[in-house]
C-alpha cells in the first residue's frame, strides 16, 4: 500500500504574523514616498518663490530708476504732483515720470506701490499705474508678503525718515522683501531672522511655524529724482 506524503501549510498565526510584517513594510514605504513627494513639492515652491521675488524686485528697480524721468521737461499743471517721488512711506511709495514711452511722445504717469492685507500678517504687493484722462490699472505683483521695508537715502547716505520731507533729496532706495510660500511643510520648523540693509532686524521672527520664507534685499540708485 502506497503511503501518502503529509503536506503542511501555514497556520493562521503564521499568516497573521506575515500580514502584520507586510503591513508595517508597506506603511514604511508609503511614508517614505509621501515624504519624498512633500520634499519635492516644497523645493519647487521655494524655487518658484525665489523667482517671483526676483521678478518683483526687478520691476521695482526699473520703476524707481525712472522716478522723475522727464526728458522733454514737461511742466505740470497747477496743483498736480511734481514729476518725482511724491509719497514715501516705509511700506510703499508713489512717483511721477515718463515711464512708458520714454519721451516719444511724452507720457507722464503716476506709479504707486502699496501693500493690501489679505490675512493676519499677510499682504499682497500691488502696483497701480495711472495717467490723466484714463482709468488706473492695478496689478498684484506678489502674494503672501510679510514685510516690505523701504529705506530712503540722500547724497551723503543719510537715512531720510518717511514720509520724506523733501522727496527731491532721495538719491537711493533700499528695498527688503520677506515672503513665505503658500503651503506649510510638516517636516520644517521656521527658525530664521531677517533684517534690512541697515542691519535692523524685523520684529516677529523666527515664526516657529512650518512655512518656508525668503528675504531679498537690494539698493536702487535714483537717476532722475531731482
Distance CA 117, CA 120 (A): 8
**Domain-located, residue 156:** yes
Compute the mean pLDDT over every residue in the chain, rounded to the nearest whole number: 83
79 pLDDT above the threshold of 50: no
- Tell me, yes or no, whether 95 lies in a domain: yes
Q: Which long-range contacts (CB under 8 A, 24 or more apart) does 74-80 make?
A: 74/98, 74/106, 74/108, 76/108
CA distance 197 to 216: 10
In a domain, 145, yes or no: yes
Q: Quick one: pLDDT at residue 76?
A: 42
Band the pLDDT of 127: cuts 50, 70, 90. very high
Q: What is the pTM of this model?
A: 0.77
Confidence class for position 22, pLDDT limits 50, 70, 90: confident
Give the list of residues 6+ apart from residue 178 with CB closer than 8 angstroms, or none: 145, 146, 147, 194, 202, 213, 214, 215
Does residue 167 sit within a domain?
A: yes
Q: Which residues span the domain enclosing 79?
A: 41-221
Q: How confident is the model at residue 69 (pLDDT cuts 50, 70, 90)?
A: low
Which element (helix H / strand E) includes 214? strand 213-221
Q: Does any domain span residue 217?
A: yes
Cα angle for residues 111, 115, 119 (degrees, 5° grid)? 155
pLDDT of residue 167: 87
* Res. 5 pLDDT band, cuts 50 70 90: low
pLDDT higher than 90, residue 4: no
Written as nine digits, the cell of 20 is 502584520
The answer as to whether 32 is a domain residue is: no
| pLDDT confidence of residue 103 | 47
Overall number of domains in the chain:
1
How far from 215 is each of 107, 148, 168, 187, CA to CA, in Å? 34, 10, 29, 21
Q: What is the mean pLDDT of residues 79-87?
A: 57
The CB density around residue 131, as the number of other CB atoms within 10 Å, is 14
Which residue from 157, 184, 187, 183 is spatially nearest to 170, judged by alpha carbons? 157
In a domain, 143, yes or no: yes
For residue 3, being part of any structural domain is answered with no
**Mean pLDDT lowest for which of 21-25, 50-54, 154-158, 180-184?**
21-25
Amino acid at each position: 500500500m502506497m503511503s501518502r506524503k503529509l503536506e503542511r501549510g501555514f497556520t493562521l498565526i503564521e499568516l497573521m504574523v506575515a500580514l502584520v510584517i507586510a503591513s508595517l513594510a508597506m506603511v514604511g514605504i508609503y511614508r517614505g514616498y509621501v515624504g519624498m513627494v512633500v520634499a519635492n513639492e516644497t523645493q519647487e515652491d521655494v524655487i518658484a518663490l525665489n523667482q517671483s521675488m526676483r521678478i518683483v524686485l526687478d520691476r521695482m528697480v526699473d520703476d524707481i530708476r525712472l522716478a522723475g524721468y522727464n526728458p522733454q521737461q514737461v511742466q505740470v499743471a497747477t496743483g498736480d504732483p511734481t514729476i518725482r517721488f511724491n509719497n514715501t512711506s516705509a511700506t510703499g511709495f508713489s512717483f511721477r515720470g515718463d515711464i512708458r514711452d520714454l519721451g516719444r511722445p511724452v507720457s507722464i504717469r503716476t506709479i504707486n506701490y502699496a501693500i493690501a492685507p489679505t490675512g493676519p500678517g499677510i499682504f499682497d504687493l500691488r502696483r497701480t499705474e495711472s495717467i490723466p484722462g484714463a482709468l488706473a490699472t492695478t496689478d498684484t505683483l506678489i502674494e503672501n508678503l510679510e514685510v516690505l521695508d523701504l529705506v530712503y537715502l540722500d547724497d551723503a547716505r543719510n537715512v531720510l525718515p518717511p514720509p520724506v520731507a523733501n522727496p527731491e533729496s532721495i538719491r537711493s532706495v533700499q528695498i527688503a522683501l520677506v515672503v513665505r510660500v503658500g503651503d506649510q511643510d510638516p517636516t520644517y520648523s521656521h527658525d530664521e531672522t531677517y533684517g534690512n540693509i541697515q542691519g535692523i532686524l524685523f520684529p516677529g521672527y523666527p515664526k516657529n511655524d512650518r512655512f518656508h520664507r525668503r528675504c531679498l534685499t537690494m539698493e536702487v540708485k535714483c537717476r532722475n529724482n531731482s
